Structure 1
């Protein structure tokens, strides 16, 4: 290995211009792929095609209709929606909503299809027509009717009559001939028009279309805000730590070239950028600093000893090649194991970062030393004070090894104990913070109406026309009533409510007849008569399948989280198993598949983490050529993740999709400092013949400052990511930051005591 290290150093110095120009050219060629990068704002991006819950949802949508929605909420400042001006606004907004691009259906208080009997005929009409001319008595009658309709209550209006909703169904063409931004802009324009026209109303805008738009806005927002902050922070750290203009320029070039190479290769590969993978530039920027810092610190160390620049560069390559290769490959392996993730965006994130990290390795070993050989480089400050700090730290750890060792054991056990408090839960609406207007609107909807979390049930009768069977209808109605009795449920939408209302209408609107018809033919006649009177766009195709063998029942809840949603769905299946085994099915919907994704992702990522651990362990053992040392190194590499999870358990408890990839992602990152410390320790033992204590001192003095600077860079980079308005990125950044902080504590205090104990056993 030493011959290879020396050969590379000689080659870099001898062919410096070739390396500089050649690698610049290859970086620009790779970066050319950035023009092919596209962004995805589909909320279903987190689910692979093989995801069984997604397949079930798509089957449901093929049976009925595949829709997304735009949801307006109107809350008059007076607290009463049953006022003439407010009803006018509802009527106007309903009419205008039909004009939104790809609008297929609009449901509101004004166009609610109110049924009533007139002699032997069934009259079906809009609940509100010509609001500006309604009398007080007519408004009072509308209020009484609306608050008595289970299909409206908590769905279109709240129980107090203070909030109402207008829901616009959007059907996107399967051929992709639509522009989500066009729909989003049209919805926002209508929202602004309503606010300007009706200043006495508070108007909110949310829905699936707005959520998808937010998924597109999140990466753009992070790139505009977080990347400049991260770049500025790295520049500050580099300048402060290196105190060299040329070294700073060289390091900035490395992180820029690594980032554009990773993104460019992603573009050439056709990878689509999503909110989760959009933080790849921040991660690459952060990780690319580490290799450069280690190489530069050694160069300056050698030059301060009087070594000429070219010789110092060669020595730095000789000393750092092995640990830099190990750390880069280990980091890449950690991110590549994210391909085990069930969520495609995390696979893309892992692949982009892995390419950026390997690019950083090449640029750090070949480009930066060659560039420094060309540029004038001077050491401008004596670092003896900094070395004294790490020297004092080394003396403290060596002399107090036993109490330090047991203190670290206690710290590890205490922090890790919090893992027992961790539980799986996600609220996909809360993936976005309150800086996103749709999030505020969604919270408002969850507070006053049904909310956006739903479970759809495809209830099959088993025969054509079977939905008219009185026994089937009674079972469906009992199922709906069971859900209404559950504390988590706000609203249940089922056609049995329509059937009961029709039966009442056809019996002179006698309340005693608000019940299901007892004859199959009668039920079929009622349903046919009702459908014939429905206006265009308000049919029941979204509720009844073509051959009338099944209906779609929708259960809506406020934002209760994935754990509660899954529990509710399980209890629903159990009810069907006991009361209607022939109708037993799984609940579906976006809420359900988002609820399953965290558990599926954790299960799949555990496999990836095990593989990463095995590969990294083998690399460490082979590279260090010491089985005991290689195995020992795993302790400070694995423990930080457990400690971070423990702290999260103590402080938060809830973990979701973002945290599910954390172990695999950080395993390769935290290896960095451990490898460099052990490498210097081993070099002191073998090359300089030092005993264990002096080898620990040597490691602290030669690599302590570089570990400190790289840790600051990593903490800064991932710390900046924790300020993302997109929760998945924020949680990922925060958990990684905590892990890295624990990693340096272990490397400075726990690892040296382990090394000293290992030597005492040999």
Structure 2
């Protein structure tokens, strides 16, 4: 069966090309349906429990996703006439932000005090231009002693102020709205920056986090893909020295990408921060198939065979290994369907489809094009380079006895260091330190508070239940407990409002800065206060309409997933022990990412075990040898062990992106092992002993393995240029494992075969 379609690709190349490119054009046309989603909710399934809890909380209270504009005067004092004037002006202009629903700053904070029997509610800063020194001192004292302001809208040192813009975004794809908001805020602050050069402006918040997701994905697509094309051209030319081989390989790459992305469009899929990497991955994997076909053909041509005979022999020798490696690579990527993150499953599915296309095209379109195009070989340069690989093979053969225990020691050390790795996801650390968003979040953390928050909702299950003094006391105690936690920077709780109002209604006597003592008084205080609030500054962000539930917003340091889930667990434990009659829920984007990281790691470990089992069974049947199938397990497992050991030394932090590397690379690194063992088995079947078979494998496929490894490592290392850390760190670790896999196949596998496969002829 293989001979018929292989002969067709060589004997009837024009027919094969016509059918192939018709298939490609039909598939690629679907790419017109693709669109991009950059919001953080693409990381979560619709039935994700943390997402459902978050959506429920957003529906009950006002939405608190938004933009934070950080204003930092170089003078270090926000309580000056110039600074307060700027903050007030910026606050007022921020009200024009598209989709905005609420603006909070120190200038429009609703300060309250008593005047005889009246409760006065007005902006803390009304007319900055007329403020005297005493007024500035008074405003500073009020702001830095107000729990709802300090470490939230103003730093404790009074050197940095924050303007929060809450937005009301539609459900579903929010990319267009997020981009509109971000552009408006950037243009607005750019004007103020031009007018006030002595001030720094930074942008944080979930809107700018979403905007960074989309803008960095666009950056990756525009820079990384072209760079990868350039790298492939250079590598193919330097190592293979064949123009026709380079051009045809590029055509196969483009065809594989176009067909893959076209099918994604026909399937109604969208692009995300993960799936924008599909072209790069398909590109690198497609090169590997082409290199094996071209390299084996050139090897045969150097032995004196014609192009047609050499090409046919190359296909006969490589078609099964290419199919096997494509299947194993596809299995590795398909295990990403075990991921708890939908866009990672999309990444796996699309890359697996791309691998299938690359396999199909490299065995049909590639030989058809080579048959129609002139191909020349430069024997001297090729012999010299092949000789280097052969010399390496001879050195390994000569020193195989000491090499084997040495590699075992290295592996054991690497495995030991791999245990230093800890699962820890910090959403703000998804972005490189050189990016403006990361710099803004770091600046906010250093001067005011972290950007990450946890929202706790307390349900009393009765109308006006929050006004009950017993419930208010529990809410206050819980809020105080939260403030005592080392991870917490600020707690926004409604009990601070009740205490301030109670003090106001007792002629601002500080001794009455306590909670109301009966339910009716609490209800009256809150009603009086809410009736005095201006539009847009109500308490719906803290209380539901029936006053049966309240939300406590906790700003925490930019922590990792372990610390966030630990804080959530401790909070639930405290509440269960001290408020059994009330119900507590917790939700926030940061908490959602923390839980999804733990879920993803557990699910990916399950997927890796299944992938390893399937790949092992496949290799046993493909190599037609139980012994070689079992032997192949070691060079397939060692690279990941050593790679994660290196990562344990380098970083030790495993994030959401790195959690998929084990499954993903398992399918890729099998390729080298399959090609080496297939050539080894071919020589054994011809009567060669283990040493001669290793020598043949080095000579026939060693150069191809070196080229494909260099291409794959280069392709994934180019991802390191991404400002999105999930992509850049995934690219770095994948490149490390791919390079280690080549070293294992060159320095561990041959000695292992020579020691444990000593029979004269492979059965």
What are the Cα deviations for residues 275-301 of structure 1, in whole angstroms up to 9, with x where unaligned? 111111111111111111111111111
Name the CA shift for 1:337/1:551 in 2 (closer, same or farther; >3 Å): same
Matching of residues 540-689 of structure 1 within 5 Å: 540-686=539-685, 688-689=686-687
Structure 1 residue 174: Cα displacement: 4.0
| Paired position in structure 2 for 1:203 | 201
CA distance in structure 1 between the partners assigned to 2:663 and 2:74 by the alignment: 51
Query: Structure 2: which 5+ runs fail to align?
Result: none
Structure 1 residue 229: Cα displacement: 1.3
Q: Aligned with 1:216: secondary structure?
A: helix
Matching of residues 713-728 of structure 1 within 5 Å: 713-728=711-726
Q: Aligned with 1:75: secondary structure?
A: strand
Q: Aligned with 2:419: secondary structure?
A: helix
| Paired position in structure 2 for 1:399 | 398
CA distance in structure 2 between the partners assigned to 1:175 and 1:712 by the alignment: 41
What are the Cα deviations for residues 190-212 of structure 1, in whole angstroms up to 9, with x where unaligned? 11111122222212122111111
CA distance in structure 1 between the partners assigned to 2:519 and 2:2 by the alignment: 86
Q: How many residues align?
A: 758
Q: Aligned with 2:758: secondary structure?
A: helix
Residue in structure 2 matching 1:350, options 327, 340, 348: 348
CA distance in structure 1 between the partners assigned to 2:441 and 2:458 by the alignment: 29
Q: State whether residues 689 and 759 of structure 2, in contact with CA within 8 Å, keep that contact through their aligned partners in structure 1.
A: no
Structure 1 residue 396: Cα displacement: 2.1
Residue in structure 1 matching 2:125, options 124, 128, 147: 128
CA distance in structure 2 between the partners assigned to 1:709 and 1:668 by the alignment: 18
| Paired position in structure 2 for 1:440 | 439
Matching of residues 299-310 of structure 1 within 5 Å: 299-310=297-308
CA distance in structure 2 between the partners assigned to 1:81 and 1:394 by the alignment: 70
| Paired position in structure 1 for 2:164 | 167
Q: Aligned with 2:586: secondary structure?
A: coil
CA distance in structure 1 between the partners assigned to 2:370 and 2:86 by the alignment: 69
CA distance in structure 1 between the partners assigned to 2:71 and 2:375 by the alignment: 66
| Paired position in structure 2 for 1:213 | 211
| Paired position in structure 2 for 1:733 | 731
What are the Cα deviations for residues 453-480 of structure 1, in whole angstroms up to 9, with x where unaligned? 1111111123211101111111111111
Q: Which sits farther off after the overlay, 524-533 or 440-449?
A: 440-449
Q: State whether residues 9 and 313 of structure 1, in contact with CA within 8 Å, keep that contact through their aligned partners in structure 2.
A: no
CA distance in structure 2 between the partners assigned to 1:705 and 1:74 by the alignment: 58
Name the CA shift for 1:246/1:472 in 2 (closer, same or farther; >3 Å): same
Matching of residues 446-595 of structure 1 within 5 Å: 446-595=445-594
Q: Which sits farther off after the overlay, 176-185 or 54-63?
A: 176-185
Q: State whether residues 117 and 506 of structure 1, in contact with CA within 8 Å, keep that contact through their aligned partners in structure 2.
A: yes
Structure 1 residue 761: Cα displacement: 7.5
CA distance in structure 2 between the partners assigned to 1:261 and 1:582 by the alignment: 59
CA distance in structure 2 between the partners assigned to 1:570 and 1:338 by the alignment: 29
Q: State whether residues 458 and 585 of structure 2, in contact with CA within 8 Å, keep that contact through their aligned partners in structure 1.
A: no
Q: Aligned with 2:487: secondary structure?
A: coil
TM-score, structure 1 as length reference: 0.98
| Paired position in structure 2 for 1:144 | 141
CA distance in structure 2 between the partners assigned to 1:484 and 1:175 by the alignment: 35
CA distance in structure 1 between the partners assigned to 2:271 and 2:18 by the alignment: 30
Q: Aligned with 2:208: secondary structure?
A: helix
CA distance in structure 1 between the partners assigned to 2:379 and 2:701 by the alignment: 17
Name the CA shift for 1:173/1:693 in 2 (closer, same or farther; >3 Å): closer
Matched, 1:38 2:35: yes
CA distance in structure 2 between the partners assigned to 1:227 and 1:176 by the alignment: 25
CA distance in structure 2 between the partners assigned to 1:570 and 1:425 by the alignment: 16
Name the CA shift for 1:15/1:175 in 2 (closer, same or farther; >3 Å): closer
Q: State whether residues 252 and 358 of structure 2, in contact with CA within 8 Å, keep that contact through their aligned partners in structure 1.
A: yes
Residue in structure 1 matching 2:293, options 292, 295, 307: 295
| Paired position in structure 2 for 1:271 | 269
Q: State whether residues 243 and 381 of structure 1, in contact with CA within 8 Å, keep that contact through their aligned partners in structure 2.
A: no
CA distance in structure 2 between the partners assigned to 1:202 and 1:238 by the alignment: 48
CA distance in structure 1 between the partners assigned to 2:435 and 2:385 by the alignment: 45
Structure 1 residue 501: Cα displacement: 0.4
CA distance in structure 1 between the partners assigned to 2:595 and 2:696 by the alignment: 50
Q: Which sits farther off after the overlay, 254-263 or 527-536?
A: 254-263
Matched, 1:104 2:101: yes
Structure 1 residue 693: Cα displacement: 0.7
Matched, 1:68 2:65: yes
Q: State whether residues 506 and 512 of structure 2, in contact with CA within 8 Å, keep that contact through their aligned partners in structure 1.
A: yes
Structure 1 residue 176: Cα displacement: 6.6
CA distance in structure 2 between the partners assigned to 1:199 and 1:749 by the alignment: 60
Structure 1 residue 685: Cα displacement: 0.7
CA distance in structure 1 between the partners assigned to 2:518 and 2:502 by the alignment: 11
Q: Aligned with 2:748: secondary structure?
A: helix
What are the Cα deviations for residues 357-408 of structure 1, in whole angstroms up to 9, with x where unaligned? 1111011000010111111112123322223222222222222222110001
Q: Which sits farther off after the overlay, 162-171 or 186-195?
A: 186-195
Structure 1 residue 584: Cα displacement: 4.7
Q: State whether residues 460 and 583 of structure 2, in contact with CA within 8 Å, keep that contact through their aligned partners in structure 1.
A: no
What are the Cα deviations for residues 148-188 of structure 1, in whole angstroms up to 9, with x where unaligned? 11111101111111111110100013487963222121111
- After superposition, the CA RMSD in angstroms is 1.4
Q: Which sits farther off after the overlay, 104-113 or 128-137?
A: 128-137
CA distance in structure 1 between the partners assigned to 2:191 and 2:676 by the alignment: 63
Matching of residues 405-416 of structure 1 within 5 Å: 405-416=404-415
Q: Aligned with 2:70: secondary structure?
A: strand
Structure 1 residue 24: Cα displacement: 1.6
What are the Cα deviations for residues 243-294 of structure 1, in whole angstroms up to 9, with x where unaligned? 1111111111111111111111111111111111111111111111111111
| Paired position in structure 1 for 2:316 | 318
CA distance in structure 1 between the partners assigned to 2:56 and 2:113 by the alignment: 36
Q: State whether residues 573 and 584 of structure 1, in contact with CA within 8 Å, keep that contact through their aligned partners in structure 2.
A: no
What are the Cα deviations for residues 389-439 of structure 1, in whole angstroms up to 9, with x where unaligned? 222222222222221100010111111111211111111111111343222
| Paired position in structure 2 for 1:21 | 18
Name the CA shift for 1:750/1:157 in 2 (closer, same or farther; >3 Å): same
| Paired position in structure 2 for 1:5 | 2
| Paired position in structure 2 for 1:381 | 379
CA distance in structure 2 between the partners assigned to 1:573 and 1:584 by the alignment: 10
Structure 1 residue 725: Cα displacement: 0.6
CA distance in structure 2 between the partners assigned to 1:555 and 1:249 by the alignment: 57
CA distance in structure 2 between the partners assigned to 1:90 and 1:349 by the alignment: 44
